[in-house]
Chains A and B, each alone.
Chain A
Amino acid sequence: MTTASTEGSAGELRHAIEFTRTTVRFGATTAVNGIELSVPAGRTTALIGPSGCGKTTLLRLAVGLQRADLGDVRVLGRRIESNSLAELRHSIGYVVQEGGLFPHLSCEKNVSIVAEFLGWDSERIRARMSELCALVQLPEDLIARAPSKLSGGQRQRVGLMRALFLDPELLLLDEPLAALDPMVRAELQDDLKQIFARLEKSVLLVTHDLAEAGYLGDELVLMRAGQVVQRGSLRELFEEPTDPFVTSFVSAQRGARDVLAEAAQ
């Protein structure tokens, strides 16, 4: 896995993100421990693992919210540098773990804040807004409301709209469905699957739910204590575990086998 393999002309980017021996420490805690991971471009990668294994920290590294203590991070073929950080961030849509909508702004303003900052005219903003409402299936009359006046599922859709507004190349989603009740969750999973298929973007999706990872991800990456334990399809995790931890992790999550069975039909 050489860095040269990701470069070449703009159209043939093979890896959206590459972590090379990347380490992040918080005092005595090592959140990310010399990780080697490349996230393929144009596909959906699902990052799973127990709570505290470093998933959020990996996403934060990718948007330059966290500096690596050791090793290297390349995003969209570029190294993260402070002078081009804003520009890079405009190419990334990031939805933080709790959604991250600003309570003092209406949903609409939340969604269009960067476009306004970049000087888009109101016509263009309105057009993009309708387009995205249709994509994420949010009734257009809801976006004038404050975030607190929407349901949890609707808020996640608004968060997704904000991340997608500038049509970024890379989408980072941190446990987007974790806080939702099962019915809403299943519905959103279906919608997300469609959206990802339609957009063909590079997506890195964090979840601690194996079934969800298997349903939404083209490929799964299982982490433990700041390192990758195994990557592959859901079937591979079940049938060819490389580590006893993989076996115990997958067997603890019952619903996942149903996804596998469904996919097999």
Chain B
Amino acid sequence: MRALALLLCLAACAPVSRDLRVGSKRFTESRVLGELGVIVARGTGATVAPRTEFGGTMLAWNALRTGAIDLYPDYTGTIINEILAGESIESAEELTEALAQHGIRSTAPLGFNNTYAIGLREERAHELGIERVSDLAQHPDLKLGFSNEFMDRADGWPGLRETYGLPQSDVRGLDHDVAYRALESGALDAIDLYSTDAEIDYYALRVLEDDRAYFPRYDAVFLYRAELATTAPTLVRELDRLAGKISEDAMVAMNARAKLELVPAATVASEFAASQLDLHVLTTERTLAERLWLRTKEHLTLVLISLFAAIVIAIPLGILAARRERLGQVVLAITGILQTVPSLALLVVMIPLLKLLGAPSTYLIGSAPAILALFLYGLLPIVRNTHQGLKDIPGDLRDAAEALGLSARAKLWRIELPLASTSILAGIKTSAVINIGTATLGALIGAGGYGQAILTGITLDDTALILEGALPAALLALIVEYGVRSKTRDYS
């Protein structure tokens, strides 16, 4: 027992030299800042893994806290009001201390404040005579739309409504990028903005004055793991050198470049690094073929590993289910319930589950939780079809096989499984097709694949990029569905 504990400690404490991991959230600005972090880290000579993207603040924070990533950009207001919401932080010192409790440090502010704001189309605001947030109280019929995170956050809509006594009841949550389009089309009257969003100018929006000073400051900072101070002191020094270097105008310009001109985030960040920080790091643009190949490899890895694991586990489960009717019903029910869990929820739940199972921190994000979720998803069709295929063996063949006097194992391998194989293969095919589609969501937790292009494409409102992910995913599913002939033998 003690030896085991020692072994575990050794394994955990052993210095593992590994690539530095930089994270970001999924929206444009965070992606650009993340790429800047990558460039700075490369500048110190470190080897850096490709940036991982997270679908929400808590996902990114947990990845940092558990050591799955080493640093990512965030905002002071978000840290205080969302991440450390329970701790009522009043000053910069208290913030530093609270972060230290989690083994995390923050750089000094990078120079710009990206606060939340409420915006209307200039034209509409003029027509209604709205200039300040408090003016909204006079217009209870306005249709409001807020990003999903803003809807729930302590520093979001609930607090705003209370502070200003806002009466609107038509309030819906939606994706931030979709919100701009809804506002432009007139489907919404007012939405939440980030004050550095490039769209504010582009769509000619009026930013309402926060006349009761509800929104706190959202100074951009990099959060990083405290041990970097000893393992990568130059990196920490370089990150600190970014303090005050990015003005609000510079950030708005970078956002515009990335979002409106569709320049890749890495290019935008490297242009800024070269001109403002005198930091020249080569970012090589990938060609379309290279991007497709990379994502195909990532996507196939997710699908094939999870499918293989599902086959290895599900076929024996299906055999068991066919042998013991009672137990079989239980197995089928459990795998059935797994399939009804919304795929996104299942993906996100895998992270704490893996942690609970004691997985090393590097496996908490990226492909491991995605593969685990896809594996669970893939079980049902295979278990069900194995069970059904064995049950459907005609009675006379079953009798003939049994009466031969083979061992149970020989009977299974030489007669029963081959007879059930058409059904089992159909189950495997179903699993594969489902997983090819579901794996696109893996990009939300940093697993890459075709979903990466789709998500980034949605963020940038870049249809070509969305198609770059969606078309190969659909094509792959079609190839499996129609190309892989399930060998339906004609036994007649």
Q: Is the CB of A65 within 8 A of B491?
A: no
Distance to closest chain B CB from A78 (angstroms): 14
A100 proximity list for chain B (CB < 8 A): 396-397, 399-400
Measured between beta carbons, the chain B residues less than 8 angstroms from A90 are: 405
Whether B14 sits at the interface, judged by CB under 8 Å, is: no
Count of A-B contacts with CB under 8 A?
62
Contact A113 B414 (CB under 8 A): yes
What CA separation (Å) do A18 and B36 show in the bound complex? 89
Q: Are B396 and A97 in contact (CB under 8 A)?
A: yes
CB neighbours of A89 from chain B (8 A):
403-405
Across-interface contacts of B394 in A (CB, < 8 A): 98
Compute how far the CA of A163 lies from the CA of B124 in the bound complex, rounded to whole angstroms.
89
A160 within 8 A of B: no
Bound complex: CA of A190 vs CA of B17, how far in Å? 83
Interface residues on B, range: 20 to 34
Counting CB contacts under 8 A, is B406 at the interface? yes
B residues near A114, Cβ cutoff 8 Å: 404-406
A102–B415 contact, CB under 8 A? yes
- CB neighbours of A86 from chain B (8 A): 405-407
- B410 within 8 Å of A by Cβ? yes
A113 and B396 in contact, given A103-B489, A104-B489 (Cβ under 8 angstroms): no
Report the minimal beta-carbon distance from A219 to chain B, rounded to whole angstroms: 24
The 8 A CB mask of A20-34 against B (1 = contact, 0 = none) is 000000000000000
Q: How far is the CA of A98 from the CA of B421 in the complex (A)?
A: 22
A220 in the interface (beta carbon within 8 A): no
Q: Looking at the complex, which one of A88, A98, A105 makes contact with B405 (CB distance below 8 Å)?
A: A88
Q: Does B325 contact A (CB under 8 A)?
A: no
B418 near A113: Cβ-Cβ < 8 Å: no
Question: Which chain A residues lie closer than 8 Å to B492 at the CB level?
Answer: 148
What band does the interface of chain A fall in when counting residues whose beta carbon is under 8 Å from B?
20 to 34
Residue-wise, chain A 37-65 has the 8 Å CB interface mask toward B (1 for contact) of 00000000000000000000000100101
List B407-461 residues whose CB lies under 8 Å from chain A: 407, 410, 414-415, 418-419, 421
* B211 beta carbon closer than 8 Å to chain A: no
> A180 within 8 Å of B by Cβ?
no
Could you tell me if A94 and B407 are in contact, using CB atoms closer than 8 angstroms? Answer: no
Q: Are B399 and A113 in contact (CB under 8 A)?
A: no
Cα(A85)–Cα(B406), bound, Å: 10
- Rounded to whole angstroms, the CA-CA distance of A92 and B490 in the bound complex is 31
Contact A96 B405 (CB under 8 A): no
Residues from chain A with a CB closer than 8 A to the CB of B406 are 86, 113-114, 117
Q: Which residues of A contact B414 (CB under 8 A)?
A: 113, 117
A87 at the interface (CB under 8 A from B): yes
Q: List the B residue with the shortest CB-CB distance to A101.
A: B400
Let me know if B87 is at the binding interface, CB within 8 A: no
Chain B residues near A105: list those with CB within 8 A: 418
**Chain B at the A interface: mostly helix, strand, loop or mixed?**
helix
Q: Which residue of B lies closest to A102 (CB)?
A: B415
Whether A94 contacts B403 by the Cβ 8 Å rule is yes
If A104-B419, A113-B414 touch, does A87 touch B397 (CB 8 Å cutoff)?
no
How distant is A146 from chain B, measured CB to nearest CB, in Å? Answer: 8
Report the minimum CB–CB distance from B392 to chain A (whole Å). 13
Q: Which residues of A lie under 8 Å from residue B401 when comparing CB positions?
A: 102
* CB <8 Å contact, A85 and B405: yes
Contact between B404 and A98 (Cβ–Cβ < 8 Å)?
no
Cβ of B170 < 8 Å from any Cβ of A?
A: no
Asked if B175 is at the interface of the complex by the 8 Å CB criterion, the answer is no
B369 CB to nearest A CB, Å? 40
Query: Bound state CA distance, A97 and B402, in angstroms?
Result: 14
Residue of A nearest to B400 (CB): A100
Closest to A148 in B: B491
Smallest distance from the beta carbon of A64 to chain B beta carbons, Å? 8
Closest B residue to A110 using CB positions: B400
Contacts of B489 in A (CB 8 A): 103-104
Q: How far is the CB of A29 from chain B (nearest CB, A)?
A: 16
Q: How far is the CA of A114 from the CA of B404 in the complex (A)?
A: 7
Residue with the highest number of chain B CB atoms closer than 10 Å, among A63, A87, A103:
A103
Give B176-191 as 1s and 0s: 1 = Cβ < 8 Å from A's Cβ atoms.
Answer: 0000000000000000
- How far is it, in angstroms, between the C-alpha of A103 and the C-alpha of B406 when the chains are bound? 18
User: What is the distance, in angstroms, from B487's C-beta to the closest C-beta of chain A?
Assistant: 10
**Cβ of A148 and Cβ of B490 under 8 Å apart?**
yes
Question: In whole Å, how far is B39's beta carbon from the nearest beta carbon of chain A?
Answer: 60
Which residues of B are found within 8 Å of A65, using beta-carbon distances?
Answer: 399, 402-403
Tell me the bound Cα distance from A96 to B402 in angstroms.
11
The distance in angstroms between the C-alpha atoms of A88 and B418, with both chains bound, is 26
A206 to chain B, nearest CB (A): 13
Are B404 and A113 interface neighbours, CB within 8 A? Answer: yes
Cα separation A3 to B419 with both chains bound (whole Å): 41
Report Cα–Cα, A100/B404, bound state, in Å: 11
Residue-wise interface mask of B (449-491) relative to A, using a CB-CB cutoff of 8 A (1 in contact, 0 not): 0000000000000000000000000000000000000000111
Closest Cβ of chain B to A54, distance in Å, is 16
Residues of B within 8 A of A117 (CB): 406-407, 410, 414
Query: Can you list 8 A-B contacts (CB < 8 A)?
Result: A86-B405, A86-B407, A92-B403, A96-B403, A100-B396, A100-B400, A104-B419, A104-B489
* Interface positions of A (Cβ within 8 A of B): 60, 63, 65, 85-90, 92, 94, 96-105, 113-114, 117, 148
Closest 4 CB pairs of A and B: A100-B400, A89-B405, A103-B491, A86-B405
